[in-house]
Amino acid sequence: MPHAHEEEVLARIAKGLVYTESEAAFQGPRRRTEQIFEYNHTPPGETEKRRSLLVAIFGSVGERTVLLPPFHAGFGSNVHIGDDFFGNVNLAFVDDVDIRIGSGVMIAPSVTLTTTGHPVHPSRRADFGRFSEPIVIEDKAWIGSNAVVLPGVRIGYGSVIGAGSVVSRSIPPMTVAVGAPCRVVRPITDEDLTTRTAGQ
């Protein structure tokens, strides 16, 4: 059972309020650092070992999950992934709180999913002051290379996030969104059944 101080810190984290590195130190044992290191150094053919490591690292992981190493995670245990997921190389999970990824999601190389930010005023960043809000990526979304998804964002069903985007606000389902900051540029329609890219 958590001590009263730990419960108070966890309650603040859950509300998206500022907390410090020292206050959150009790969460250290939940980090999956060793397993992540081992996963990132597995030979390509060891698919069963990779699968068992992902089960040990993540809070939950679905069937037919492909995650190309290396990947990085602050905890690992706060990441939840559905079925038929594909994550390309250099995927970074800043998972101080939950990152929930649906089924059929595709994530391109060098994407960052960060649940945590820092206060603007420097005095509030003492002892690495920070706040955390969960990220949700709904089923069948596709996130392009080098995109950054910021705290509290929900990416809707089937949506496409363009390469290099900085997603600071939630994106509705079945839309194409690009840019820094990321903005919706158009809906996804039946016409896209006969086109190759979002730009056609």
Query: What is the average pLDDT value for the chain, to the nearest integer?
Result: 94
Express each pLDDT in 47-59 by its tens digit: 999 999 999 999 9
Sign of the torsion formed by the C-alpha atoms of 180, 186, 191 and 193: positive
For residue 33 the two structure tokens come to: 């650092």
Q: Where are the domains of the chain?
A: 4-194
Q: What pLDDT was estimated at residue 16?
A: 92
Task: Please give the C-alpha separations between residue 43 and each of 25, 55, 69, 70, 145, in angstroms, as whole numbers.
Answer: 33, 18, 10, 12, 24
Q: What pLDDT was estimated at residue 200?
A: 47
Q: Does domain 4-194 have CATH number 3.40.50.300?
A: no
Catalytic residues: 118
When pLDDT is cut at 50, 70 and 90, the band that residue 127 belongs to is confident
Q: Is pTM beyond 0.85 here?
A: yes
